[in-house]
Structure 1
Amino acid sequence: MIRTFRYIGLAEGVTTLALFLVAMPAKYWFGYPDLVPPVGMIHGIAFVFYILAMPACLRGRGFTPWEWTRTALASFFPFGTFLNDPLLARKQQQAGAPA
């Protein structure tokens, strides 16, 4: 299940980057606002899915309270899910699942 959550985190991180590095510059630098609503909605869905998937995928997998907090906070910052992925990979390896 940690592997599944890592994929969800990757999707959340990629949609964040798409919003910040593609859609928003297109709106503010090039006057093309049409990308923001669909990319923003996709990112919003990915964010909600990430938050809802946390307990489903990670409960009972040996996460400390700090690791839970860190994993939750990672979704609120650009690059956060990417920076948190090594922790998830270690936990996945400790659980005996292939990385």
Structure 2
Amino acid sequence: MLKQPLGRLRVIGFLEGMSYLILLFIAMPMKYLADYAMAVTITGGLHGLLFVLFIVAVGHVAIVNRWSVKQIIGALIASVIPFGTFVLDKRLKESHSREG
């Protein structure tokens, strides 16, 4: 799975999506309800790294698979919506199984 650009995108998308949910639903409440800002510092840094990797992976897949601008924008929008990368992953898996 990690040998192909699409497989890497799916894995990075999953990790980025999980880090986003952890940041929103665990780390942020810990910061504001329990006065534990370190949760956001750690999770936010990790999420930032995964977000950048996701953007690079989208770019790589877009070049290799000749994605349209609409597909690229859709993937990037999915990365900023909670649960969006999981919806994207399902669509990528479906489209890949139709092609293969």
Tell me the TM-score normalised to structure 1 length.
0.85
* 8-17 vs 56-65, which moves further: 56-65
**Which residue number in structure 2 is paired with residue 10 of structure 1?**
14
* Cα distance, 1:62 vs structure 2: 5.3
What percentage of residue pairs aligned between the two structures are identical? 32
**How many corresponding residue pairs?**
96
**Amino acid of the structure 1 residue aligned with 2:61:** C
* 21-30 vs 65-74, which moves further: 65-74
**Which residue number in structure 2 is paired with residue 87 of structure 1?**
91
**Which residue number in structure 2 is paired with residue 49 of structure 1?**
53
CA distance in 2 between counterparts of 1:81 and 1:31 reads 29
**Amino acid of the structure 2 residue aligned with 1:18:** I
Quote the RMSD (CA, aligned, Å): 1.5
Structure 1, gaps ≥5 residues long = none
